[in-house]
Amino acid sequence: MPTHRTAGACTLAEAILDGARRHETTPVTVASLVRPSVASLGELAGDARRVAGALQSLGVGPGDVVAVQLPNWYEGAVAQAAVVLCGAVLLPVVQIYGPRELGFILRQSRAVALVIPGEWRGRDHPGMVRASGALPDLKAVVVVDEHAPEGMLTWAELTAWAAGPYTRPRQDPGDLAMLVYTSGTTADPKGVRHTHASLLAEIHSPVSIRSAGPDTTHLALFPSGHVAGLLGLLRILVHGTPTVIMDAWDTARAAALIDEHRVTWSVGAPVHLAGLLDARDGGTARLSSLREFMVGAAGVPPALVYRADAAGLAAYRCYGSSEHPTISSGEPGDPLVKRATTDGRVIGGSEVRLVDDAGRDVPEGAEGEIVSRGGELFAGYADRALDQAAFLPGRWFRTGDIGRLDGDGYLTVTDRKKDIIVRGGENISAKEVEDVLALHPRVAEVAAVALPDERYGERVCAVVVMRDGGGLDVAEVGVHFAAAGVARHKTPERVVVVEELPRTAAGKVQKYLLRDRLAGG
């Protein structure tokens, strides 16, 4: 049976240490081709305590921000748990972020320490830190490698630094515990602030409890820099569910791990579920142990859920964000049509309203902007100036998504007010894409829009007006984005050259017309 919260565990450090005591022998398998490992939860927690002591010896404590930009390696799990245990604010950073995004995040968060790989997927991370510009608050950079550049520490040097035993910090549930950056309508990522209380509310939500326990084996797919990846790690630490962790998505590898470890449950984006079903249909995997798959983080085509059901897999949709991790979710026992065409019911502990542009409730059955609140809602943005527009009176969070509720209480997200593109679970600011491409010397105007895609949910399409009347191809755009130091997943995958962009009388680009034209070929 799932293990519920024990009395007195009101901070993440308490919950993690308590979970390690109760689930000491639970296996945690890191299925990495680069740094594979198998450890028990007790061993992981013990290593985290030692690293937490080392961080405390370096002067890191409550209120300090420590950034971790590691793949889903064992050291990444240990580092993130250690930051929590020493009372600091954990800042997980997406691995694909380049020097531009990394520098902005480190400067705005005022991070005092950073943990990075030496090299990952061909990228020199210490070099990327140096290319990020001035970082006056950063006191220590730890490199998970045998060697580190001058002025940085290796992982081994950090763990040997401890001058004394680990001391559990004194903290309150309302203290800041995590800062995670998410791309939105602004060019720069937005820092989302979560407290111990909000994260524990998510970890002990009905969705988390339902998917926890010794009879369930997880396959963890989301990268650690995402709120979903971090919450997946916290569920392992607190609930003790046997878990297999991947450090990079590979369809064949994921399908093989499911069969090898008899995985019963997973959560991912449409690209993950579609890939697994491709492997099964291609005869390279059976997936017979996989009972259910929760799919979200991007637009989910109903056909994908129907396809999973035909394969004997109960897939269902969910809806949430970095600011409010789980707002609604389906369940395996829901009617198939509800699992395929809705994003489930609002989970216990959360509330949803649908409002118009003035913040008034829309009539029953009508579409409106989804506003939410609940125990796992974030505390506000790192840039406090963003908070005023983000909330309605009563701390109702304006998600920027449009939705409707049916007569059975199922929520369906139908559109977005926010100008973002969601590719494979990654939020991409259309404005940032436009700002980068507008620096190209031959580009006069640009509009970035989402292209529907069955595998990734959406891809980035750039519609451009050229200064010289010539053409522009994807390869040239790729070179331009690489030179700008922008994460590769933000690079447009289709470029359309037009003579002019459609605009309103006030001069605003009518992106819906561009989307309609692209959808029509």
Under the banding of pLDDT at 50, 70 and 90, the label for residue 185 is low
Under the banding of pLDDT at 50, 70 and 90, the label for residue 7 is very low
Assess whether pLDDT exceeds 50 at residue 6.
Answer: no
Question: Going by DSSP bridges, is the β-strand pair 218-220/265-268 parallel, antiparallel, or unpaired?
Answer: parallel
Mean pLDDT of 163-177: 89
Assess whether pLDDT exceeds 80 at residue 161.
Answer: no
Under DSSP, the state recorded for 305 is: H
Q: Is the separation of the CB atoms in 129 and 118 below 8 Å? A: no
Distance (Å, whole) CA 443 – CA 471: 10
Under the banding of pLDDT at 50, 70 and 90, the label for residue 297 is low
Distance (Å, whole) CA 464 – CA 447: 6
Mean pLDDT of 479-498: 92
Mean pLDDT of 255-270: 95
Q: Which value, to the nearest 10 degrees, does the dihedral of the CA atoms of residues 376, 377, 379, 380 take?
A: 150
Mean pLDDT of 156-169: 82
| Predicted pLDDT at 1 | 31
251: nearest Cα among 219, 226, 227, 228:
219
Dihedral sign for Cα atoms in the order 132, 133, 138, 139: positive
| Predicted pLDDT at 69 | 97
Q: SS3 for 285?
A: coil
Rounded to the nearest 5 percent, the helix, strand and coil shares of the chain are 30, 25, 40
Mean pLDDT of 487-501: 92
Assess whether pLDDT exceeds 80 at residue 4.
Answer: no
Assess whether pLDDT exceeds 50 at residue 118.
Answer: yes
Convert 394-408 into a string of H (helix), E (strand) and C (coil). CCEEEEEEEEEECCC
Other CB atoms within 10 A of residue 4 CB: 9
Q: Is the separation of the CB atoms in 399 and 428 below 8 Å? A: no
| Predicted pLDDT at 295 | 93
Q: Is the separation of the CB atoms in 334 and 315 below 8 Å? A: no
| Predicted pLDDT at 300 | 81
Q: Is the separation of the CB atoms in 301 and 273 below 8 Å? A: no
Mean pLDDT of 119-140: 94
Angle between helix axes 12-22 and 41-57 (nearest 10 degrees) is 140
Under DSSP, the state recorded for 425 is: T
Most confident of the ranges 200-214, 254-268, 505-519: 254-268
Other CB atoms within 10 A of residue 238 CB: 29
Mean pLDDT of 45-49: 95
Mean of the per-residue pLDDT values of the chain: 91
| Predicted pLDDT at 163 | 60
Mean pLDDT of 337-366: 94
Q: Is the separation of the CB atoms in 383 and 187 below 8 Å? A: no
Structural tokens at position 431: 């404005």
Distance (Å, whole) CA 314 – CA 299: 18
CB within 8 Å of 208: residues ≥ 6 apart: 202, 231, 235, 239, 326
Other CB atoms within 10 A of residue 229 CB: 22
Distance (Å, whole) CA 58 – CA 61: 9
Mean pLDDT of 434-451: 89
